Structure 1
Amino acid sequence: MSNKDVLTGQAPSNAPSQDASIEELGIAKVPTSQQTKKPAELFFVWCAANIGILGVVYGAIIVSFGLSFFQSLLAAIVGVASFSLVGMSSIAGKIGRTTTLTLSRSSFGKKGNIAPTSFCWINLMGWEAVNIITGTLTLVALFAALGFAETTMTTVISLILFGGLTVLVSMLGQNTVLMMQKWITRTFGAMTLFVVLYLMATADWETIMALPSGSWITGFLPAVSIIAAGTGISWAIAGADYSRDQSPSSSHRGIFNSVVGGAALPLIMLMLTGILLTAQIPDLASHENPISAIGRLLPSWMAVPYLAAAVAGIVTIAVLSLYSASLNLLSMGIKLKQRTAVALDAVLVLGVALYVLFVSGDFLGPFISFLIFCGVFLAAWAAIFMTDFLTKHRHSGYSDEELFGDTGINKPTLACWVVGSLAGLMVSNTGFIDGPFAVGIFADSSLGLFISFLVSMVLYRIILKKNA
C-alpha cells in the first residue's frame, strides 16, 4: 500500500509492506505475517491503560453519590464490567485486522462514519487533556511530598516536565511503549497493592461501615454509569487498535478475558483505595487537587515512590490516547503523517490543560460533565458497532469493500446514532447542556447513557431485520 493509501484510508492499491511497523501501516490491514501477538500481551496493554491514579478519584466519586461501602464496591465492579465492550471490539480487531473506527465504516459507510469518528476523536482529545492535567497534578503532589510548596511555578514546571515526557515516549514507537508498560504495570501495581494494604490496616472501618445505604435508582445506577463512561465506554473506540496484530490462533475467549481482566484488576483495586480514603478525606471527590490530598495522607517514604510510579503510568496512558486519536484522524481521511497527527493533537490538548490548570482551577467538575456529555454519543455508537459485529461480522469477517471502498453514507444507521444520542442528551444534565426531560430519576444523574445505548441498539436491530 502506498503512503497516500495508508494516510487517507483509500482502498488498498496493493498489499502493505511486509516489514512495515504498526505505526507505518496507519489504518491499513495488518499483514497476516505480522499477526504474531498473543492475548497475554493485551492484558498488559489494558492493565497499564487503567492503572492511573485517577482510578482512586473514581472511588471517591462513587461514594459521593451517597452510597454505603458495599454499594460503592458493587458499583465499581458493575461499572468496570463495561470493559466487555472493549473486549468485543478487540475480538473484532483480530478478525478485521484494522483499527476500531475503520471497522465502524462497515455499518455507517465510509463518509457516514466521519460523524461518529469525529466525535470519538474529540473524546480522545478530552481524555488526553485529562491525562495531561492528572499527570501535572501528580507531579505537583510529588514535589509537595519532597518538601516543595504548591505554587503556580511548581505547576508550570510540572506541566512542562510531564508534557515533555509524553512527547518523548510517544516518539519511541508502540513496541517500546508496550515494553515500558509491562514494567510500569508491575511496579505501580505492586506499589498500589501495598498502599491498599496500608490503607486497610489504618482505615477508620467504623466510619466506613457506618456509611448509610443510598438509593439504588438515583445513587447506585448513576454511579455505575459514570464509571462505565470513564472506562469501558470511553475505551471501546480503541479496542481493535491494539488487537489487530493478534495471531490467528489467538482464541476469542483469550482475547476477551485478557482485555477485561487487564482493566478490571487495577481499576477495582484503585477504586477500593478511593472508597477507603473517603473516610479520612470526606471531600476527596470535590478537592481542587485530589491527588495532592492523597499524597499528604500517605507517609513521605510511601508517597514519593508511589507518586513517581503514578507519573510514569500516566505517561504511557497519555501515549495510548494520542496514538488512538491520530488513527481516528486517518480514519476520517485527513492527510497527515502519524507524527504530524500526534503533534496536532498534543497542541490542542495542551490548550485545554492550560485553561483548567491556570484559569478555571476546577478539575473534577468539568471532568464529570465531560464524561456525561461524551458518554451519550459513545454509548450510542458502541450499541451500533457491537450489534453490527455480533450479527454480521463475527463469523464472516469484514470485506475490503466495506472498510476501504467508496460506500458513502448509510443514512439509516447514522440516524440511529443521532436519535440515540439525542435521546440520551434529553434526559441528561451535563453541566453546560441541560436536557428538558432531566427530571425525576434523571435529575442530577447520568442515566442518559443507558437510554442512549438502548435506543440506538433497538433502532439498529429494527433496521437490520428490515434489510434481512
Structure 2
Amino acid sequence: MSNKDTLSTNQAVGSNDPSIEDLGIGLVPQSQQTKKPAELFFVWCAANIGILGVVYGAIIVSFGLSFFQSLLAAIVGVASFALVGVSSIAGKIGRTTTLTLSRSSFGKKGNIAPTAFCWINLMGWEAVNIITGTLTLAALFAALGFAEGTLSTAISLLLFGGLTVMVSMLGQNTVLLMQKWITRTFGAMTFLVVLYLMATADWDAIMALPSGSWITGFLPAVSIIAAGTGISWAIAGADYSRDQSPSSSKQGIFTSVVGGAALPLILLMLTGILLTAQIPDLASHENPISAIGRLLPSWMAVPYLAAATAGIVTIAVLSLYSASLNLLSMGIKLKQRTAVALDAVLVLGVALYVLFVSGDFLGPFISFLVFCGVFLAAWAAIFITDFYTKHQHAGYTQHELYGETGTIKPTLWCWIAGSLSGLMVSNTGFIDGPFAVGIFADSSLGLFVSFIVSMVLYRITLKRG
C-alpha cells in the first residue's frame, strides 16, 4: 500500500478537532488518539456488569447442566468476547467505527444490509436494557416496601427511560467517567452478594445437580451466552477503541477488552448459578430480578438493586450510542443527539409492549438472541477474516471506508449464505428451521453453523480473488 492510498486525517475530518461525538463516523484525529488500553477495561466491565448476567447463570442451569458444567459453559461462552477484542484492535488501526470498517469487505452500499441488521440488533438490546432496568427499579421499590404492580412498573419505566436519555446527552467522556465509579460500586456489591450466597447456599443441592448432555445441553448453553455477550458486542468494539493511542499494543487492547468483560460476567453468572438452588424457576420467572431482590436481606437488596439500576443506565447509553453510529454508517444523515433521541423513542415502544402487553420477558429475549445471533455470527466471521487477511498490517484506505465502492457481491452472498444456514438449523421461537432436528432441535447451535459457513465461504472468495 502506498502512502497516497493510506488514510489521511486531514482528508477525512479536516484540520479542526471536533469532539468524539461530533465526529460521527469520521476518522479520529491523531491529536485525539490519547486513550490507553486500561480505559477499555472499564468500558467493557461497565457494559457487562448489569444484573442480566445473573439471569444468564440461571439460563445456563436450565439446560440441565451440573454445577461444574454450568460454570464451564459460562467461561467458554464469555470467551466469545475475543471477537470484541479483535474488532477493538481494528478500531485502533482504522480510527473509525466498527460498521464503517466493515465497508472494506462489503462495499459502501453492500454494507448497508448487515449494518441495518446490526442496528436492529442494537435496538433490540436497547429494549432489553430498558426492560431490565425497569424491572430492576421496580424490584428496588419493592425492597423499599412499595407494592408491586402495574403502577409501580409504569413509574419505573418512566424514571428509568428518562434517566437513560438524560445520561446519553452528557457525552461519551462523561459517561465513561460515570462508568468507572459505577463499575467499582456495583462490582463491590456483587462480590458481597456472591459471598453471601456462597455462605447461605445449599451446597448439597447444588452439587447434586445431575450432569447434562455435552451436545444438546452444554453447547446450546454456550451458544446462548456467546450470542448475548461477545457476538452481540462485536459490532461495537471499534466504536470505543478508535481513539486509542498509537502506542497502545494489540495485546494490551485485547486483554483489556476481554478481561474487562469476563471478570464481571463470570462473577454474575456464578451468582445466577448459585441462586437456582434457592429459586429453581428463576430462568422462567416473570420478573427474575424481583425474585432475586426478595431472596436477599433488605439491607443488601436495596443498595445492590440501586447500584444495578445505575449500571444498566450506562449499558443502555452504550447501546444507544453505537446504534446512532450505525445509522450514520448506513448514510442516514442525522445529528448524533437526534439519532440517539430517535432510537430512544423506538425502544421505549418495544419496552411498553413487553412490560404491559405480552408480560413475558425471558421467552422473547432468548428467541431474540438466537435469531440475531445467526446473522451477527456470520458478519463477525467475515469481519475477523477480512481484518486478519487484509488490514492487520496494511491498515485501511480512504477509498475502502469513504469511497463509492458499491456492493462487493461475493462478500454479501457469503454473509447471506451463512445466516440462512444458521436459520435452517435453528428454532428461534418464531422461525423454525426445516433442519432443526436431532442435535439441532430446541438448541441454538445454528450460531456455530452460520459462523463456520460464512468464514469458509469468505476464505474461498478471497483465494479466488
TM-score band w.r.t. shorter chain: over 0.9
Contact 2:50 2:311 in 1 (8 A): yes
Change (3 A) 1:17 1:295: farther
Report what 1:118 is aligned to.
116
Superposition pairs for residues 198-217 of structure 1, below 5 Å?
Answer: 198-217=196-215
CA distance in 2, matches of 1:464, 1:170: 40
The match for 1:290 among 288, 296, 315 is 288
Contact 1:18 1:33 in 2 (8 A): no
Shift of 1:335: 1.2
Runs of 4+ in 1 over 2 A off after TM superposition: 11-19
CA distance in 2, matches of 1:235, 1:54: 15
Contact 1:12 1:404 in 2 (8 A): no
Deviations 1:307-333 (A, max 9, x none): 000000000000000000000000000
The AA in structure 2 aligned to 1:281 is: I
Report what 1:312 is aligned to.
310
TM-score (norm 1): 0.97
CA distance in 1, matches of 2:157, 2:15: 39
Superposition pairs for residues 90-109 of structure 1, below 5 Å?
Answer: 90-109=88-107
CA distance in 2, matches of 1:139, 1:43: 26
Shift of 1:151: 1.1
Shift of 1:15: 3.6
Superposition pairs for residues 272-283 of structure 1, below 5 Å?
Answer: 272-283=270-281
Is 1:269 paired with 2:267?
Answer: yes
The AA in structure 1 aligned to 2:111 is: N
Contact 2:54 2:272 in 1 (8 A): yes
The match for 2:447 among 449, 462, 466 is 449
Report what 1:7 is aligned to.
none
CA distance in 2, matches of 1:316, 1:384: 29
Aligned residue for 1:23, secondary structure, equals: coil
Shift of 1:233: 0.0
Change (3 A) 1:14 1:317: closer
Report what 1:372 is aligned to.
370
Shift of 1:12: 8.0
The match for 1:133 among 118, 131, 134 is 131
Shift of 1:445: 0.1
Report what 1:5 is aligned to.
none
CA distance in 1, matches of 2:339, 2:28: 20
Report what 1:78 is aligned to.
76
Deviations 1:217-252 (A, max 9, x none): 000000000000000000000000000000000000
C-alpha RMSD of the superposition: 0.9
Contact 1:16 1:28 in 2 (8 A): no
Is 1:401 paired with 2:399?
Answer: yes
The AA in structure 2 aligned to 1:277 is: L
Report what 1:179 is aligned to.
177
Report what 1:156 is aligned to.
154
Query: Number of paired residues?
Result: 457
The match for 1:238 among 236, 239, 247 is 236
Change (3 A) 1:14 1:461: closer
- Note the residue ranges of structure 2 that are not aligned, 5 or more in a row: 1-8
CA distance in 2, matches of 1:138, 1:17: 46
Shift of 1:17: 4.6
Deviations 1:24-57 (A, max 9, x none): 0000000111100000000000000000000000
Report what 2:33 is aligned to.
35
CA distance in 2, matches of 1:368, 1:188: 25
Report what 2:413 is aligned to.
415
Q: How many percent identity over aligned positions?
A: 88
CA distance in 2, matches of 1:335, 1:190: 42
Superposition pairs for residues 386-397 of structure 1, below 5 Å?
Answer: 386-397=384-395
Deviations 1:264-302 (A, max 9, x none): 000000000000000000000000000000000000000
The AA in structure 2 aligned to 1:175 is: N
Contact 2:12 2:26 in 1 (8 A): no
CA distance in 1, matches of 2:236, 2:449: 23
